[in-house]
């Protein structure tokens, strides 16, 4: 059976998350229904990351096996035809080695969190960013965020329902940048704990609004205590923007 690697974009606001659910629509289920309509047989779609309800993606990666042997471009176009009108698009389909695995072969995942820092309500960005009305100090947030870089016990930023074997993760990079009213927090690592990014963003918000000092992030990280974490940022500002399959440097 031929295997295909997919690069996928989706608006997560109408889904219960990536992973298949019994009683609510998921991105995985919707893709599998489209693939079954194309192939004429049940198809399993394996994603590189399990995004939560409300989280978006511009660079999710998945793989699937089909009974039919088709050109990769045909797979992309046919899947997109069957996906309409759902807010999911297959940006690219590629022929993959039979041993390729979208999740286990991934060596890095990158996320962006979008904040719109303004008093007025959101219109075009509603459901796609976190509106924060109070003025934020993005430079202080960026300075504080550097405490996350490297190998740490991220228990403070780990959701209570996280199923990872260990809270120890290695964060490759994180940056906080402002362009006008938009603040973007970019981060990458081999893998993340459940709701780790949203937990980090929520704590950085406390620094940005002046409630906590730049050094506070390092202190609560070292505490390895979930109760020390700031409020968890909402899902709708988070985007999975890329998955890499080369060694992180």
Predicted pLDDT at 248: 44
Q: Helices 216-223 & 196-208, crossing angle to 10 degrees?
A: 140
Q: Pick out the chain residues at pLDDT < 50.
A: 248-249
Question: 108-244: what fold?
Answer: Alpha-Beta Plaits (3.30.70)
- Contact present, 229 and 199 (Cβ < 8 Å): yes
What local confidence, expressed as pLDDT, does residue 247 receive? 56
Structural class in CATH, domain 3-96: alpha beta
Contact assessment for residue 233 and residue 205, using Cβ atoms and an 8 Å cutoff? yes
Q: Do domains 3-96 and 108-244 have the same CATH topology?
A: yes
Q: Can you give the pLDDT at residue 23? A: 86
In terms of Cβ atoms closer than 10 Å to its own Cβ (0-12, 13-18, 19+), residue 81 is exposed
pTM of the full structure: 0.95
- How many other CB atoms sit within 10 Å of the CB of residue 147? 20
Q: Where in the sequence numbering do the catalytic residues fall?
A: 52
Domain limits, the chain: 3-96, 108-244
22 Cβ contact partners less than 8 Å away, ≥ 6 residues apart: none
Give per-residue pLDDT as tens, 175-195. Answer: 999 999 999 999 999 999 999
SS3 of the chain: CCEEEEEEEECHHHCCECCCCCCCCCHHHHHHHHHHHHHCCCCCEEECCCCECCCEEEEEEEEEECCCCCCHHHHHHHHHHHHCCCCEEEEEEEEECCCCCCCCCCCEEEEEEEEEECCCCCCCCCCCCEEECCCCCHHHHHHHHHHHCEEEECHHHCCCCCCCCCCEEEEEEEEEEEECCEEEEEEEECCCCCCHHHHHHHHHHHHHCCCCCCCHHHHHHHHCCHHHCCCCCCHHHEEEEEEECCCCC
195 contacts 169 by C-beta, under 8 angstroms: no
pLDDT tens digits, one per residue of 52-83: 999 999 999 999 999 999 999 999 999 999 99
What is the pLDDT at residue 21?
A: 87
pLDDT for the residue numbered 249 = 40
CA–CA separation, 87 vs 11, rounded Å? 6
Q: Give me 154's structure tokens.
A: 């991220």
Cis peptide before 190 (omega within 30 of 0): no
């Amino acid at each position: 059976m031929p295997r295909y690697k997919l690069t996928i974009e989706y608006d997560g606001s109408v889904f219960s998350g990536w992973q298949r659910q019994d009683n609510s629509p998921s991105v995985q289920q919707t893709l599998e229904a489209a693939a079954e309509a194309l192939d004429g047989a049940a198809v399993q779609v394996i994603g590189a990351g399990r995004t939560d309800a409300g989280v978006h993606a511009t660079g999710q990666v998945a793989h699937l096996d089909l009974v039919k042997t088709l050109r990769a471009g045909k797979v992309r176009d046919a899947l997109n035809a069957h996906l309409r009108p759902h807010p999911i698009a297959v940006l690219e389909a590629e022929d993959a080695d039979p041993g390729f695995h979208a999740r286990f072969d991934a060596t890095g995942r990158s996320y962006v969190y979008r904040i719109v820092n303004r008093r007025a309500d959101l219109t075009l960005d509603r459901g796609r960013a976190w509106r924060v009305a109070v003025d934020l100090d993005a430079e202080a947030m960026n300075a504080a965020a550097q405490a996350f870089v490297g190998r740490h016990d991220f228990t403070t930023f780990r959701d209570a329902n996280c199923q990872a074997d260990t809270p120890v993760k290695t964060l490759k990079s994180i940056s906080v940048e402002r362009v006008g009213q938009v603040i973007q927090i970019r981060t990458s690592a081999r893998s993340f704990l459940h709701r780790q990014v949203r937990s980090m963003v929520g704590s950085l918000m406390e620094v940005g609004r002046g409630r906590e000092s730049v050094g506070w992030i390092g202190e609560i990280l070292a505490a390895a205590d979930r109760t020390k974490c700031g409020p968890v940022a909402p899902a709708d500002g988070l985007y999975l923007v890329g998955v890499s399959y080369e060694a992180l440097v």
